[in-house]
Amino acid sequence: MSRILTASKLFSQSLHNHGENRCYFCGTDCDNTYLSELYIKDTFTNRDIIARPSSKYVCRGCVMTLGFGEDDELVMIDGSIKKRENQRGLSPHLYSWIITKDKRIPFTKAHISIIRGILTNTNPIMQLTTPFVIVLSDSGQKHLIFRAPVSKSDEVYPIMLEDEIIITEPISIKERIDITTPIVAATGKPALKDITLQTYISYRKYHGNTYKLEEWESIKNDPISKLAVWLSLNKEEATNEYPVH
Ligand SMILES: [Zn+2]
């Protein structure tokens, strides 16, 4: 039978429960060890996001990612270790992830500069080789891994940002982040999403004109712009690139 590679299957690595059934959540092949009725919660009333609504079974990776997590500690992308302090604290849905064939690497918004380097190919501490999955959690409230796409290319690839799947490439991400930097320098990161009259006043005071802010306002709702907001520099980093005159 065909083998469907899903993000959950990648996540489970060698633990995957190969079998002749399909996973209710992600659709990969699985055996009959885990019954879907034990894992379906009220949050899954939206059947559009379920791969196999008629299946009675769940794959090991979905069991791992939909629960509280199975490790007592997580090694974050910067090498720091987060220990389990309570039952929920290491739940996979609280984190963002890069998942590859042999690694699953958690990170948070505290690690944005590292992730920015990887996704823009400007500081490649790790080379993305297919298959891989990138999931960026914005709210920490939603289960994203089971429905995240697996990349088949390391040049143009999908990034899951909260509910949205953005197909892009490193140079496009970099160009879009570059547009946000002078705005963050002048007004801070929140203004990227919420541009007010005050934003224009602050921006003009800082840069002497408002051309780049106008450009951003016309494209800020593009999917890739949302990605650029998530990955943008913080105020201190942006100010270093655009010092006050
Ligand atoms: Zn699954």
Q: What tens digit of pLDDT does each residue of 54-104 get?
A: 999 999 999 999 988 999 999 999 999 999 999 889 999 999 999 999 999
Q: How far is the CA of 33 from the centre of ligand 1 (A)?
A: 12
DSSP, residue by residue, 18-46:
--SEEBTTT--EE-SSEEGGGT--GGG--
Residues 61 and 111 in one domain: no
Q: What is the pLDDT of residue 77?
A: 96
Residue 48 inside a domain? The answer is: yes
Cα(127)–Cα(149) distance, integer angstroms: 18
| The domain boundary residue, chosen from 50, 67, 84 | 67
Cα of 170 to ligand 1 centre, how many Å? Answer: 29
Q: Which of 112, 66, 72 is nearest to 93 (CA)?
A: 66
Does 44 or 22 have the greater pLDDT score? 22
Distance of CA 63 from the midpoint of ligand 1 (Å)? 7
Between the CA of 165 and the centroid of ligand 1 the distance, in Å, is: 18
The number of distinct structural domains making up the chain is 3
Angle between helices 211-219 and 170-187 (to 10 degrees): 130
For residue 38, give its domain range.
7-67
Is 1 inside a domain boundary?
Answer: no
pLDDT-derived band at 1, boundaries 50, 70, 90: very low
DSSP string, 177-216: HHHHHHHHHHH-GGGGT---HHHHHHHHHHHSS-HHHHHH
> Which residues, 6 or more positions from 89, have their beta carbon under 8 angstroms from its beta carbon?
82
237 inside domain: yes
Checking if the pLDDT of 118 tops 80, the result is: yes
Residues 133 and 108 in one domain: yes
Shared domain check, 152 and 78: yes
37 domain residue, yes or no: yes
Residue 11 in any domain: the answer is: yes
Q: Give this prediction's pTM.
A: 0.93
55 and 78 share a domain? no
Q: Are residues 92 and 61 in the same domain?
A: no
Continuous segment of H or E residues that includes residue 133? strand 132-136
Last residue of a domain, one of 67, 95, 115: 67
For residue 36, the CA-to-ligand 1 centroid distance in Å is 10
Whole-number Å distance, alpha carbon 223 to ligand 1 midpoint, is 27
Structure tokens at 92: 């996979």
- Contact status, residue 115 vs residue 122, Cβ threshold 8 Å: no
* Cα distance between residue 98 and residue 196, in whole Å: 35
Residue 136 falls inside a structural domain: yes
Q: Are 196 and 220 in contact (CB under 8 A)?
A: no
